[in-house]
Homo-oligomer: A and B are copies of this chain.
Amino acid sequence: MDVQTISDEELRRLPVLTALSEEQLGRVRRGARLVQLVEGEHLFEHGQKAERFFMLRDGRIKLYRLSPEGDEKVIEIIRPGQSFAEAVMFMEGKRYPVSAQALVRSELVAFDNATFLQILRESVETCFRVMAAMSMRLRARVNEIEALALQNATLRLVNYLLGEVPENAGDTAEIRLPAPKNVIASRLSVQPETLSRILHQLSDKGLITVQGRTITLHDIPALRRYGGLA
């Protein structure tokens, strides 16, 4: 399996590659490599020099930070179709600010930063797309900071669940957690025990049903009121 076999169409599905010409896309592809990871394998580590950014094709990647004591905080769980680490090439030092590890066997495309920077110089349109992507992430991080500072564990969980609900959903939805509960717990900055208890409480109130990684939300409007968000 080789990068060359990936269709233009698939690559262009990435917002930051959408606006590229045939020729530019060709260059990007030539600089790219296909990467396969087994469960638990690391893609990069915090502090490592960044030479590539990525698109996940299949599997699941966890971005996280480790404290000196070894405590882990999951910053984000990447799913197929998402790109990540595009912003690192603009940081001074160009070092990954987080570590990335495969939660399950995964396949990704690794794009070369140098090549992409070259193309950015030729395509203002693509610059705009990169800026749009970065601003989205920036806003997401601010939301996360607010959540950590102003919301308790239950609120954070409820809002997280609501964020997992598909756009077109009605008053009820069934969602599947993108990772084991202990990873979700870290993503929410809560201990696994606490997550388990909160899930139980919400079940008791009849708001949700939990079956392994599958969670059914029985009354989304009620949960929204609970979460108190737009």
Contact = CB atoms under 8 A, between A and B. Distances in A.
Nearest to A72: B150
A98 B138 CA distance: 12
A87 interface: yes
**Identical chains in the assembly:** 2
B134 A135 contact: yes
A42 to B, nearest CB: 18
Q: Chain A contact residues: over half helix, strand or loop, or mixed?
A: helix
B138 A137 contact: yes
Contacts of A91: 132, 135-136, 139
Contact of A134 (B131, B144, B149): B131
A142 B90 contact: no
A177 interface: no
A145 B73 contact: yes
Contact of A142 (B68, B98, B121): B98
Interface string A132-158: 101111110111111011110000000
Most buried by B among A71, A91, A132, A138: A138
